[in-house]
Chain A
């Protein structure tokens, strides 16, 4: 813990970032510290700085509203990095998650994390307006082995609904994805805008964490 504080303090000294503590602060801090060196600075730095209340305009596209009901975590998430096809966000108390084209592919810092996922078929089914998909989730077991679980899923269109994104209310097409694996069943919900982008979703993480809800602002 002291090291963590020292690290944050050291970076503060460098004037890279006003830290907000926890891993989110650190990862933001790291990028703040390292990215200028290499001359590539994605949206992370302004977002992190904004989260720390350092002032300046914040790009709303880099923010999400996130909640994990089982763990009682709700609040804003800031984008740590935009890798084009995927992006990683830091939520309350420093946990992080990564979305690939709107589909949740990993979480960290939640204990029973989703280590990795292959949800490409589900994404394709959403784009196609519904259909069958197979998805793969990986978690870590008590012996440090990766456990692979496969799920057969059905994506069904549920019509147009009004969703609240921060202070906005927008019309979106809702899809439900019902998945069934050897020992587990879960239901994911997605809301897509006119362009087919996922603007809000509730997606399964793992047995211990249950669902992660993430929405654009």
Chain B
């Protein structure tokens, strides 16, 4: 397979809430090859959990559908695409507002997109009503201090 990425993976699963843990753990395992810190892994897991939960509650409104997760790694970046073929979002800007929820009766906090935005470096939402929603998130994994020092040393001696 020809790819512009260093590594790639794809997952497809049913929109069942028990798959929320499966998805975030699978993506965390995929991300672990970049040697992230515990905090970076926790950030990724939380963002994936929010996106997958959105597909189940909002995209498919608790009916059965397929959720797709596409993970890509390029240099120190992990890019995660999470998509559904559900109802779509009419007003993306409103959905992104902190504390806004279209389902207040479900005790939802309205913090999903806010958490994805602040836990990842980039967040992009594409949605077409009645066709579905695709969330793309990117996070740069900082290389730890020891590695940078080693590289500096090599530069100096070279």
Judge: A and B partners, yes or no.
no
- Give chain A's interface residues, CB within 8 Å of chain B: none
- Give chain B's interface residues, CB within 8 Å of chain A: none
